[in-house]
Amino acid sequence: MTQLKILVLHGPNLNLLGTREPETYGSQTLADINAELVNLGESLGATLSTYQSNHEGELVDRLHLAGADALDGIIINPAAYTHTSVALRDALLAINLPFIEVHLSNVHQRESFRHQSFLSDIANGIVAGFGNTSYTLALRGLVTQLQNK
């Protein structure tokens, strides 16, 4: 079986993971999370690339590259842009790649503005509320979906 190519995208402020608000977002750093995902990807037959930006347009640009590179799928924690970004929605629609929306926290237990997502209805799956494990669950789920295509 050929190696799957998956992009993991992290939105604004996630570069602060492990340095602030551990009660909400856990104590692992973004580098820890990425390393765990790359290792898990290897064992599942997937090559991962990871990218974080605090800027909406940079995330859109990275999605366009993913579309041009013929990646197999995307895992995205859009962070606050989940609740605001028509631009990310349009980019994901434009590249037409399967993606999983990930959240560390259970957004539905939090403020009502976090209950709305501009991405959920076009995602292949959503994982929220498991801390860092949300990402590994999303990776396992995406790889399973891609292998069963």
Task: Provide the binding-site residues for ligand CA2, judged by CB under 6 A.
Answer: 13-14, 16-17, 20-21, 25, 77, 79-80, 82, 103-105, 107, 114
Among candidate residues 10, 81, 103, 135, the one labeled active-site is 103
81 given a catalytic annotation: no
HEC string of 2-33?
CCEEEEEEECCCHHHCCCCCHHHHCCCCHHHH
Give the phi and the psi of residue 123 in degrees, each rounded to 5: -80, 155
Question: CB of 14 within 8 A of CB of 55?
Answer: no
Residue 51: which H helix or E strand, with range?
Answer: strand 46-52
Q: Among 75, 80, 26, 20, which Cα is nearest to 46's?
A: 75
25 given a catalytic annotation: yes
- The Cα 123–Cα 114 span in angstroms is 17
Shortest distance, position 80 Cβ to ligand CA2, whole Å: 4
Shortest distance, position 20 Cβ to ligand CA2, whole Å: 4
Shortest distance, position 26 Cβ to ligand CA2, whole Å: 9
Nearer to ligand CA2, 5 or 12 (CB): 12
Name the residue with the smallest CB distance to ligand CA2: 105
Shortest distance, position 89 Cβ to ligand CA2, whole Å: 15
- The Cα 66–Cα 73 span in angstroms is 9
Nearer to ligand CA2, 52 or 72 (CB): 52
- The Cα 51–Cα 68 span in angstroms is 16
Among candidate residues 25, 81, 108, 115, the one labeled active-site is 25
Which residue numbers are catalytic?
25, 103
